[in-house]
Each structure stands twice: as C-alpha cells, then as structure tokens.
C-alpha cells in the first residue's frame, strides 16, 4: 500500500474519528554490517575493526541519537563538515561553521568565590561565545554521543481502516489489546534516512574512512492512548512499546 505524508489538518479531516491515538514506527535496515541488539533494548549497532556506532530512535517524531565508540588504542577524529544526515535524499549538515553568542544571567544571593564581598539579591550578566566544533577528538576506548535531527519533524503517515487489525499481548496487563498495523516494504517506505560519517586516525585527515548507515520505516502500528503507556508507581510515564528501533507520533 502506498503511504503519503499529510499535514496535520488534512489528516485530522480524514482520520479525526479514529480511536487510535499514537503511531509507533518500527525502523529496519538493509545494511548487512548493522545488527540489532536485543540486550541493548533493540539498538542497532554498526561495527568494523575500529569503531562501533550504537543507535537509538525512541522519541516523539523520532530522533537520530547515536554514540560512536573508539575500539582501537589510538585516537580517532570525526570531521563534521564531511558528515551529513540524509532524509529522503535531502542532505542536512552537522556543521555549518556558525559562531553563537549567548547572553547568560545568573541570579544569586551570594557571588562566589567566597573571598570576595557577598552580594545579596544581585545578578551577573555576561556573554558566552560558542564556536561549533568541526573536528571531534575521541580518545581510545571511549564514547562520543550526539542527537541533532528529528527523523520526521512534520506530518505523519496515513493509514486506512482496511489495514490489518491484530491483537497483541498487553505489557504487564495479562490481556490482549487491539492495534492496527501495516508492514512497509523498502521500496514503498515513506521515510528513508542515512547517517553519513567521515573519520580518520589522523587529525590531518590525510587518510579518511567513511560510514554510510541507512534505515527505513518498515512497520506502522496504531495504538489507543490507554494501551500506549501509563504512569508507574514512581510517577514516571512507562511506554509499553518503547524500544530503540522505534519511535512514535501523536495523531492529531
């Protein structure tokens, strides 16, 4: 079935009477060097002899969150000017060379260090100049993490009442819940996204290595609000469908 991405108003007019509240998007990959790791809450992990990249997408609208692990005994360097997030063939940059000036105001009943006279009920104002890092240094046996982009910043996927409704075991409830689900082949997937990275063991980048990890939405599951999650005894929201190879969308 062909999917389309609609703006929220159009979707509301078409599906406003639906009893389903959330869409859970399941992500897959065709890259043979990427493996899903159930012991890491179904994170996708890319590995070669030098680095490992661990992915997590769970967030509303999806987030490309990943950690790079340096497996070798010497530093590696990542040049973010030569790295991109590619969403449906649209290139988005990790680095644009901009300098950001941020105003900072700190309110305090006492200004430190303590050897200076105390100032009560005052404030300190300053400006911080932030230079975006182009080259990241990752020491041996250490991680570097970032999460810059949403997978689906606008809209969501249109399904139909003709799509399959199935029963699934409810998480910890001892009963079954009804969901609407549809599997999406790679050719028809509405969202395909890539993480393209350039790295080197030399800061000069006289030799470079490349990683091109591609993913796509392979399954859409629509869930009712009462079956999506609940507050636990600690007052935190527990997502019943939460896995690192999924993300979710709130249906308008």
Residues with Cβ < 8 Å from 210, sequence gap 6 or more?
Answer: 196, 197, 198, 199
Q: What is the pTM of this model?
A: 0.78
**Which is nearest to 102 in space by CA: 131, 67, 127, 77?**
127
The tens digit of pLDDT for each residue in 40-86 reads 999 999 999 999 999 999 999 999 999 999 999 999 999 999 999 99
Beta bridge partner(s), residue 128: 102
Of all residues in the chain, the percent with pLDDT exceeding 90 is 60
pLDDT digit string, tens, across residues 117-172: 443 344 444 454 445 799 999 999 999 999 999 998 777 677 776 677 787 776 65
So what's the pLDDT on residue 16?
A: 41
pLDDT digits (tens, 9 = 90+) for 206-250: 999 999 999 999 999 999 998 999 888 888 888 999 999 999 999
Higher pLDDT, 1 or 41: 41
Q: How far apart are CA 90 and CA 193, in angstroms?
A: 9
Average pLDDT, the chain: 81
User: In the predicted model, what is the mean pLDDT of residues 178-185?
Assistant: 91
Distance of CA 89 to the CA centre of its chain: 18
């Amino acid at each position: 079935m062909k999917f389309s991405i609609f703006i929220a108003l159009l979707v509301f007019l078409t599906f406003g009477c639906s009893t389903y509240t959330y869409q859970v998007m399941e992500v897959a990959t065709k890259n043979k060097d990427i493996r899903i790791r159930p012991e890491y809450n179904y994170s996708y992990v890319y590995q070669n002899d030098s680095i490992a990249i661990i992915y997590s997408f769970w967030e509303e609208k999806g987030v490309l969150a990943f950690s790079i692990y340096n497996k070798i005994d010497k530093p590696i360097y990542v040049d973010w000017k030569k790295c991109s997030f590619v969403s449906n063939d649209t290139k988005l940059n990790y680095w644009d060379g901009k300098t950001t000036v941020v105003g900072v105001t700190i309110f305090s009943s006492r200004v430190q260090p303590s050897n200076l006279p105390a100032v009560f009920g005052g404030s300190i104002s300053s400006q911080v100049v932030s230079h975006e890092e182009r080259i990241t240094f990752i020491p041996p046996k250490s991680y570097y993490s970032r999460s810059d982009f949403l997978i689906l910043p606008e809209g969501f996927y249109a399904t139909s009442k003709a799509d399959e409704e199935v029963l699934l075991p409810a998480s910890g409830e001892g009963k079954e819940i009804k969901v609407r689900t549809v599997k999406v082949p790679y050719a028809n997937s509405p969202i395909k996204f890539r993480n393209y990275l350039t790295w080197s063991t030399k800061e000069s980048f006289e030799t470079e290595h490349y990683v091109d990890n591609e993913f796509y939405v392979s399954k859409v599951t629509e869930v009712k609000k009462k079956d999506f999650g609940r507050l636990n005894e600690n007052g935190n929201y527990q997502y019943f469908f939460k896995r690192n190879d999924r993300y979710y969308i709130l249906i308008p």
